[in-house]
Structure 1
């Protein structure tokens, strides 16, 4: 019985160790994806963000109808993580965001947050504070624009 046990143990060790692959791999060099991300990050525009919005035209005054619609969208998709004050909930509060960020940055982040989370140093710093990556809520362009108008209302635009 000892011979059987030793034979099975030897066989198990042989199978577990298996064939070593990539023994010459150099893990200190970035992979192609990492190198691309580093290049992309260096060309990232922190005023615009990453996405399809190059320019967002805002009215001089608040579009109250759009802001009301934006509040409704926010209550469904945003306020479980964001407060309309400066207070952090899961994510940062929204008070003052339209003064700190350009409209196109807000629109790009709201509609496609993942590339910006990967490239924007300020968003990465915020992620270290909040510890939760903002999920893509699938906002349509019109919904994001309405939420932006709601943010403007929060910041006192009349």
Structure 2
């Protein structure tokens, strides 16, 4: 094979896999003040992130779904199929029916803490073997992708 192709392929794999930061072990027992300032426990229904409520219309916003499709083709389709079939990551068919919109938005915009805390995502990682990288997707782009996922799932 062409050496430059192999270099590009290796670089793409390194970027796609992301990097998990290793945490340093605690040197001392946390004080009561440190414990009381901890974040609330992980909520598997909404995930972890800034989205507490995502209001969805019962009907599809076609303009947002079209923009979401364009974003997904660039940032998501190399790892996710729009069917239920697994590629690198799981297929998207049915995701908007299985997950709450807040969870989807939080995962799209900030996957790392959810990969580390969500039991179902951890189990999926065991199957896929590749962490979803943070694609730097904005809140608006994430909402458009969510609308595209709803379109895949038959929302009209």
Q: Residue in 1 aligned with 2:84?
A: 86
Please state if 1:67 is matched with 2:65.
Answer: yes
Aligned with residue 148 of structure 2, among 147, 150, 158: 150
- Indicate conservation of the 8 Å contact 1:41/1:119, yes or no: no
Distance 1:131 1:72, change over 3 A: same
Q: Residue in 2 aligned with 1:105?
A: 103
Of structures 1 and 2, the larger Rg is shown by 1
TM-score, normalization: structure 1?
Answer: 0.75
Q: Deviations over 1:122-141 (max 9, x none)?
A: 00000000000000000000
Q: Residue in 1 aligned with 2:35?
A: none
Q: Residue in 2 aligned with 1:120?
A: 118
Partners of 2:59 and 2:40 lie apart in 1 by: 36
Q: Residue in 2 aligned with 1:10?
A: none
Q: Residue in 1 aligned with 2:25?
A: 31
Q: Which runs of 5+ in 2 are unaligned?
A: 1-23, 31-37
Deviation for aligned residue 1:31: 3.3
Deviation for aligned residue 1:32: 2.9
Q: Deviations over 1:25-53 (max 9, x none)?
A: xxxxx9339x99xxx79811000000000
Partners of 1:128 and 1:137 lie apart in 2 by: 21
Q: Which runs of 5+ in 1 are unaligned?
A: 1-29
- Indicate conservation of the 8 Å contact 1:41/1:120, yes or no: no
Partners of 1:139 and 1:106 lie apart in 2 by: 12
Aligned with residue 53 of structure 1, among 51, 54, 57: 51
Aligned residues: 125
